[in-house]
Amino acid sequence: MKLRGYALGILSAVSYGLIPIFILPIKQAHFSLDITLFYRFFFSALMVGGYLLYSGESFKINKKEALILAILGVCYALSSEFLFLGYDFLTAGIASTVLFIYPVIVALIMFFFYKEKLTRLSVVSLFLAFIGVIVLCLKGNGLEINFTGLGIVMLSSLFYALYMVIVNKSNIKVSGFKLTFYSMLFTSLFFMTKAGAANESFAIPSAEIFFNFLIFAFLTTVISSLCLVYAIKYIGSTPVSILGALEPVVAVLISVLMFHEKFTNNLLIGITLILIGVTLNVITDRKSLNHA
């Protein structure tokens, strides 16, 4: 069971790290980002909804759950939107790595708003992650930082952190599958509303783009989310969070191998510092849970 849990955790992280393969060609083709994200989450909701039907689980939710799930959907939508906007300013590898500091932001939110203690290890992890982000922004001998891109991706990370905190603190009593289904549904409604307000066409121009959307939804969203749910069930959230460190690694490899991003020393050092910082943060979180 443990081995299966680790395998699913790795699969979840790797499948999420594949996002640049799908999103960069769509952006290069100047296809609407809102329409792309609408179809990604709409098809994902249909697939997870199909599984709920198959497993005989009820779709019923009460008003309070609907409100929380709608807020989660908006957080997820804004996180996705800011990440993909960030790709216009930063390389996919750097954007994915900056996104990955969300566990550190979760720790800060818990400290400032829920008065959870920050241990010495937590402070070290925050410092390492921060230095890692700075190193990623170094070019040559100076700070050639793209503040716009960095700010946009940090917003993506913030909304993902808020998603995690709300799931954790709302005490919502729905299964992982139902939570995933409604999060995806409300996320797709967000992009549908946005695209509709801008009078964008929902027509899919070719079968190739239709299959791209389907595979995009299935691989980076459905597989990633479902593997995550089962991995947490088998091995717990802490090891799964640590395995999540593979997400930026996969995204960087794809950026280097497929989109010819330069693999610089700064990229290597920055990623390493952020991964160590986040892993320390997750281990500290585990220790504090054990002592609680």
Query: How far, in Å, CA of 114 to CA of 146, rounded?
Result: 32
User: Which residue segment(s) compose the domain that 103 sits in?
Assistant: 2-291
pLDDT-based confidence at 139, cuts 50/70/90? Answer: low
pLDDT at residue 134, as a whole number: 79
φ/ψ (deg, to 5) at 136 = -60, -30
Q: Are the CB atoms for 278 and 129 separated by under 8 Å? A: yes
State mean pLDDT over 4-8. 88
Query: How far, in Å, CA of 121 to CA of 100, rounded?
Result: 18
Strands 142-143 and 138-139: antiparallel
pLDDT at residue 143, as a whole number: 59
Residue 292 pLDDT more than 60?
Answer: no
Query: How far, in Å, CA of 19 to CA of 14, rounded?
Result: 10
Q: What is the CA radius of gyration of the chain?
A: 19
Q: Per-residue pLDDT tens for 231-243?
A: 878 887 667 777 7
pLDDT at residue 92, as a whole number: 79
State mean pLDDT over 39-62. 92
pLDDT at residue 238, as a whole number: 65
Query: How far, in Å, CA of 158 to CA of 103, rounded?
Result: 10
Q: What is the mean pLDDT of the chain?
A: 85
Cα distances (Å, whole numbers) of residue 119 to 37, 107, 111, 245? 38, 10, 10, 21
| Residue of higher predicted confidence among 200 and 245 | 200
pLDDT at residue 142, as a whole number: 57
State mean pLDDT over 109-135. 82
Q: Are the CB atoms for 280 and 125 separated by under 8 Å? A: yes
Query: How far, in Å, CA of 161 to CA of 166, rounded?
Result: 9
| Among 125, 151, 82, CA closest to 241 | 125
pLDDT at residue 140, as a whole number: 61
pLDDT at residue 145, as a whole number: 67
pLDDT at residue 151, as a whole number: 93
Interacting residues of 231 by C-beta distance below 8 A, sequence separation 6+: 5, 6, 8, 9, 12, 240, 243
Q: Per-residue pLDDT tens for 183-223?
A: 999 999 999 999 999 999 898 878 888 888 899 899 988 89
Query: How far, in Å, CA of 196 to CA of 171, rounded?
Result: 33
Q: Report how many domains make up the chain.
A: 1
pLDDT-based confidence at 286, cuts 50/70/90? Answer: low
pLDDT at residue 72, as a whole number: 93
Span of 8-17, 32-41, 155-164, 273-282 with lowest mean pLDDT: 273-282
Place of tokens 């801008």: 198
pLDDT at residue 67, as a whole number: 94
State mean pLDDT over 127-138. 80
pLDDT at residue 252, as a whole number: 83
pLDDT at residue 200, as a whole number: 92
State mean pLDDT over 263-267. 82
pLDDT-based confidence at 77, cuts 50/70/90? Answer: very high
Q: Both ends of the chain: CA-CA distance in Å?
A: 26
The two structure tokens encoding residue 276? 């160590």
Helix, strand or coil for residue 136? helix
Residue 290 pLDDT more than 60?
Answer: no
The two structure tokens encoding residue 92? 């996919």
116-119 long-range contacts, CB within 8 A, separation 24+:
116/288, 117/288, 119/284, 119/287, 119/288
Q: Are the CB atoms for 257 and 242 separated by under 8 Å? A: no
State mean pLDDT over 79-105. 86
Report the percent of the chain where pLDDT is more than 90.
27
